[in-house]
């Protein structure tokens, strides 16, 4: 029987992408929560180059980088497809996954940094979401009429951003500013199918509250 282990953090959007793909395919796996303050020998030897989560270990062989892992899962296991079948649609899905890989980390920086670096990150998030808002003007999903790879790669914009806003009291996004993005986000996080794959909002909120300094708190 295939042995699948996932080294991750339950509250990380990068880990969540991989869990999403595994659950969608119905793959049984062992989730091994990591401590990034004290990295495990298994993590260090499985991802010696980046020393980051997530790492999927399949039959003893490690695979790193969340979107690379999701493509691997899609190509390796039976079950509903994650990437579209058509090569052009696949390219568009990969384009958006790359977009979120490059632009997405500004979301975390907007809440966890301070001062000038934080303001710069907020501006980057707003620029990213303006692009997304424009893209989703007449579309329900990033590619075709089906939820898939690009949407999974957009998980931090869909759930984490709003939870971090609530946890910190800092509002970055309003539906007046970004109506199409907000409509997409509402649908994304309230869809009963997606709820099976996303972490519970309340648990994520409690975890992120503890990590984000509330607005107005003494510095």
Site for a copy of itself, rule CB under 8 A: 49, 58, 61, 63-65, 67-69, 71-72, 75-76, 87-88, 90-92, 94-95, 98-99, 101, 131
Instruction: Identify which of residues 134 and 175 has a Cβ nearer to a copy of itself in the complex.
Output: 134
Residue 30 DSSP SS3: strand
The CB-of-216 to a copy of itself minimum distance in angstroms stands at 35
Q: Which is nearer to a copy of itself, 83 or 198 (CB)?
A: 83
Q: How many residues in total does the chain contain?
A: 219
Smallest distance from the beta carbon of 134 to a copy of itself, in angstroms?
A: 9
Strand 55-58 versus strand 4-8 pairing type: antiparallel
Provide, rounded to whole angstroms, the least separation between the CB of residue 195 and a copy of itself. Answer: 29
Cβ proximity to a copy of itself: between 81 and 95 the closer is 95
- The candidate with the shortest Cα–Cα distance to 73, out of 87, 86, 63, is 63
- Burial string for 107-119 (b: 16+ CB within 10 Å, else e) reads bbebbbeeeeeee
Cα angle value 119/204/107 (rounded, 5°): 20
Helix residue spans in 77-160 (DSSP H): 87-103, 105-112, 115-135, 149-153, 155
Q: Closest distance between a copy of itself and the C-beta of residue 155, in Å?
A: 18
Residue 58 or 199 having the CB closest to a copy of itself: 58
């Amino acid at each position: 029987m295939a042995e699948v282990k996932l080294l991750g953090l339950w509250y990380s959007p990068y880990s969540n992408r991989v869990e999403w793909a595994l659950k969608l395919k119905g793959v049984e796996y062992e989730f091994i929560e990591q401590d990034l303050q004290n990295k495990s020998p298994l993590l260090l030897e499985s991802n010696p180059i980046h020393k980051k989560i997530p790492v999927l270990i399949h039959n003893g062989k490690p695979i790193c980088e969340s979107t690379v892992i999701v493509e691997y899962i899609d190509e390796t296991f039976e079950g509903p497809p994650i990437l579209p079948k058509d090569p052009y649609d696949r390219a568009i899905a990969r384009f958006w996954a790359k977009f979120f890989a490059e632009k997405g980390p500004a979301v975390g920086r907007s809440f966890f940094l301070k001062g000038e670096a934080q303001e710069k990150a907020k501006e980057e998030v707003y620029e990213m979401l303006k692009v997304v808002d424009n893209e989703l003007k007449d579309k329900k999903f990033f590619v075709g009429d089906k939820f898939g790879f690009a949407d999974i790669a957009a998980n931090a914009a869909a759930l984490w951003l709003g939870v971090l806003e609530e946890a910190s009291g800092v509002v970055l996004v309003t539906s007046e500013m970004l109506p199409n993005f907000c409509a997409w986000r509402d649908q994304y996080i309230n869809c009963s199918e997606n709820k099976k794959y996303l972490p519970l909002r309340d648990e994520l909120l409690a975890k992120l509250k503890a990590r984000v300094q509330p607005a107005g708190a003494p510095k």
